[in-house]
């Protein structure tokens, strides 16, 4: 009979793929529709278009890296840094009620989105933790 000892690890790995794919898709949109992101870059920051492209590049890179075991911990730390770095744009969006495609234009949603950044940081941080090597783990089965 198979035990469910690996269920938490399986869930963690499924959520790793979900985060990676989501962040890659968002990163791609920084290149396909950069203007929507340029609008929320705080006006105090120089070169907003370039900052959008740079953040998009690192989102794509971080998402891909999260899926590669050899670099996944470094990628997770990079995503944490990125989530912190883009937070001022999220604050600017909330303060100035700036609409973005794909997000319903309700100012309260922009404010509600701010704490979600902490969820993203915690989610990425989860992948900075080395899994305990357990007999019968998924890694050993490969």
Contact criterion met (CB below 8 Å) for 66 and 16: yes
Residue 133: the pLDDT is 44
pLDDT at 4: 58
Distances (CA, A) of 89 to 2, 16, 65, 72: 48, 25, 24, 26
pLDDT digits (tens, 9 = 90+) for 23-57: 999 999 999 999 999 999 999 999 999 999 999 99
Residues in CB range of 123: below 8 A, 6 or more apart: 15, 19
Measured CA to CA, the distance from residue 136 to residue 81 in angstroms comes to 34
CA distance 92 to 88: 6
**In the predicted model, what is the mean pLDDT of the chain?**
89
pLDDT in tens, 95-115: 999 998 877 888 889 999 899
- The overall pTM is greater than 0.85: no
The proportion of the chain whose per-residue pLDDT surpasses 70, expressed as a percent, equals 87
């Amino acid at each position: 009979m198979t035990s469910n000892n690996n269920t938490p690890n399986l869930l963690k790995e499924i959520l790793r793929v979900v985060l990676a794919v989501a962040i890659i898709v968002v990163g791609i949109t920084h290149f396909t529709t950069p203007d929507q992101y340029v609008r929320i870059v705080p006006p105090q920051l120089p070169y907003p278009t370039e900052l959008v492209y740079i953040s998009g590049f690192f989102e794509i890179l971080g998402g891909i890296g999260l899926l590669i075991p050899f670099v996944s911990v470094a990628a997770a730390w990079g995503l944490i840094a990125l989530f912190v770095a883009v937070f001022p744009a999220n604050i600017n969006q909330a303060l100035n009620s700036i609409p973005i495609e794909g997000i319903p234009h309700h100012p309260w949603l922009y404010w509600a989105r701010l704490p979600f950044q902490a969820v993203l940081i915690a989610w990425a941080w989860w992948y900075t933790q080395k899994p305990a090597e357990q007999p019968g783990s998924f890694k050993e089965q490969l």
